Structure 1
Amino acid sequence: MISLRKLFKQSPDPREARRPLWNAVVAAARAPHWYEAGDVPDTLDGRFDMISLVMALVLHRIDDDPDQALAGVELTELFVTDMDGQMRQIGFGDMVVGKQIGRMVGALGGRLGAYRAPDGSDDLRAALVRNLWRGNAPADAGLAHVMAEVAALRGALNAIPVAELIVADRLPAAV
């Protein structure tokens, strides 16, 4: 006879295998240097923009290994779940959360395309100014810092196998 406990036992959420990587993305995006030396606004929008930037770089790296595509999907689902929870914690109601999540996912999608621009390129510079500073370029030193850090992070991500990245609990240090 099947016990009730077995009948109602929930399977572990497979996305939880990506939780350490998601936490690493958030930690990297919240590193003080982005906001201090990089002049990224330390606001809700600025934090979202930085998470989207780091997330895009990580997803680009995962995309390099088609065998790990599911990990990218799981990581993106954690992004959505976390953004939903953050908005509810701030006080957004059910009617607003769905629309906002849709906008956030759309914004992430746009950034995924924009941040494929080569390091140091005018296209990348324009995408960063448009997304991180809402079109108002920061001081040259701030923009230079962010450009250099994006290139360093992309290089560090490219230096490790995707299979190691998707189980990482922190992002690789810039080389």
Structure 2
Amino acid sequence: MFSAIRKLFTPDPEPREARRPLWNAVVATARAPHWYVDGQVPDTLDGRFDMISLVLALVLHRIDEAPDQALAGVELTELFVVDMDGQMRQIGFGDMVVGKQIGRMVGALGGRLGAYRAADGSEELKAALVRNLWRGKDAPAAGLAHVIAEVAKLRAGLAAIPVETLVVADRLPG
């Protein structure tokens, strides 16, 4: 009897929480040291945001290939927003600033989603990586080559996973 009453007053879990393991995998992949050491991506707040956006964009592109999994992409994007909101508050941004910054971050993610659709090895992808990861400054040749190779490797790994498996994954290939 008490379990029925408890169930009645216990809120349902957020549906997006089903994507939490995948979100954690996106962040872990984006924080892998090779991006910052071998890839020479700046290990700064901006650099980390840019790497999370890159990995998230690649995962969302793969999810987009299965229209029946569109909700999973929405839920993953919601987790991005929730996480970025929490990170900004943790480093001291106030309520008045967080909303504007989150809007900018979502806009930046949208731009990257478009830019990172470019084919592996293309000049468009190379330009997008330089523009976003190095903020338009000269990218170190070896670092850029590493990032380009790792993006191709991650895309290939994602392509090898059925989307239905990816949306419940707790780690990414690579």
Instruction: Provide TM-score, normalisation by structure 2.
Output: 0.96
Distance 2:5 2:24 in 1: 35
Distance 1:76 1:157 in 2: 18
Equivalences for 1:95-174 in 2 at 5 Å?
95-173=96-174
CA shift, 1:106, in A, is 0.2
Q: Residue in 2 aligned with 1:79?
A: 80
Distance 2:26 2:66 in 1: 19
CA shift, 1:7, in A, is 4.7
Q: Residue in 2 aligned with 1:59?
A: 60
Q: Residue in 2 aligned with 1:20?
A: 21
Kindly indicate whether the alpha-carbon contact (under 8 Å) linking 1:62 and 1:68 is maintained by their aligned counterparts in 2.
yes
The CA deviation string for residues 82-106 of structure 1, in whole angstroms up to 9 with x for no partner, is 0000000001000000000000000
CA shift, 1:139, in A, is 1.5
What is the one-letter code of the residue matched to 1:71? A
The CA deviation string for residues 66-120 of structure 1, in whole angstroms up to 9 with x for no partner, is 0000000000000000000000000100000000000000000000000000000
Q: Which sections of structure 2, spanning at least 5 residues, go unmatched?
A: none
Distance 1:88 1:166 in 2: 28
Distance 1:105 1:11 in 2: 27
Q: Residue in 1 aligned with 2:48?
A: 47
Kindly indicate whether the alpha-carbon contact (under 8 Å) linking 1:137 and 1:143 is maintained by their aligned counterparts in 2.
no
What is the one-letter code of the residue matched to 1:97? V
Q: Secondary structure at the match of 2:149?
A: helix
What is the one-letter code of the residue matched to 2:39? G
Q: Residue in 1 aligned with 2:92?
A: 91
Equivalences for 1:27-46 in 2 at 5 Å?
27-46=28-47
What is the one-letter code of the residue matched to 1:157? L
Distance 2:14 2:7 in 1: 17
Give me the CA root mean square deviation: 1.5
